[in-house]
Amino acid sequence: MGGVYEERPSRLDGAAVWTRTGTGGPVRSFSVLPDGCMDLLWSEGRLYVAGPDTRAYVPENPGARYAGVRFAPGDAPALLGVPAHELRDARVELAALWPGDRVRRLAERVGDAADQAAALEDLALLRAADAPRPDPRLRAVVAGLNAGRTVAATAQAVGLGARQLHRRSLDAFGYGPKTLARVLRLQRALALVRAGVPYARAAAEAGCTDQAHLAREMRALGGTTLSAYAASVASAKSETPQPSGSSTTA
């Protein structure tokens, strides 16, 4: 089994709070697919950050207990104080970004709490209160790309030149706007697949050229096939709810 996953909206705008716990039985590995987001995580007494992914990530210890705050795309760098591209495809100890003594105290506070996810959310809310507000133009970039607009049309709509948009995207999302568009398009397609929509229709509605295009993107970004993903979703539904950006594989 991949464990029990639960998620709820956060009090932090655009974020989600989630937990994953073991089931006490055999644990099946699972992979987390790119979703344009970054997470603040607590697990086994440690605080760390999941950077923006461009490929599927397989946790080293799938049976561990996890608590996380998943930030909206582009929001985490200002809160954490580090450009997203420095954390791309990485899991980094929070102590590498913030003073070690402070992180140890925070990790102990979260670990001692009755609800680690709620304590982690409180930490994020306190940090966000002193951090710069999310850039509305970058949120508009996410909204435009997620609506299927081209990068050029999105840049024009938010009043940014191509080079400026690319530079800001690296800092906010960890990669350029074309990659963000691909990640968001894949997530749109997979949401339809999880809802039982046939692959060809899911591809068309998400903005792919055809089913073969979606299959290639699934391989490139998710490291698996559409049929394997659909099978993992069906298996997971019989066990526990799953995160929007993950799949469980044997």
pLDDT at 243 over 50: no
Residues 82 and 162 in one domain: no
pTM above threshold 0.75:
yes
Residues 191 and 79 in one domain: no
Q: 180: pLDDT confidence band, cut at 50, 70 and 90?
A: very high
Domain containing 149: what range? 136-226
Describe the crossing of helices 136-146 and 177-194 by its angle, rounded to 10 degrees. 50
Residues 109 and 9 in one domain: yes
The answer to whether position 234 is within a domain reads no
The answer to whether position 249 is within a domain reads no
The answer to whether position 117 is within a domain reads yes
Residues 24 and 117 in one domain: yes
**Total structural domains within the chain:** 2
Residues 116 and 191 in one domain: no
Q: What is the pLDDT of residues 66-85, one digit of tens each?
A: 999 999 999 999 999 999 99
Q: Can you give the CATH number for the domain in which 98 is found?
A: 2.60.120
Q: Given CA atoms 68, 74, 77, 78 in this order, what sign does their dihedral have?
A: negative
Residues 151 and 124 in one domain: no
Q: What is the pLDDT of residues 40-73, one digit of tens each?
A: 999 999 999 999 999 999 988 878 899 999 999 9
Residue 116: CB atoms within 10 Å: 19
Residues 14 and 89 in one domain: yes
Residues 94 and 208 in one domain: no
**Distance (Å, rounded) from C-alpha 85 to C-alpha 97?**
14
Residues 105 and 172 in one domain: no
Residues 126 and 170 in one domain: no
Place of tokens 């709490």: 113
Contact 168, 155 (CB under 8 A): no
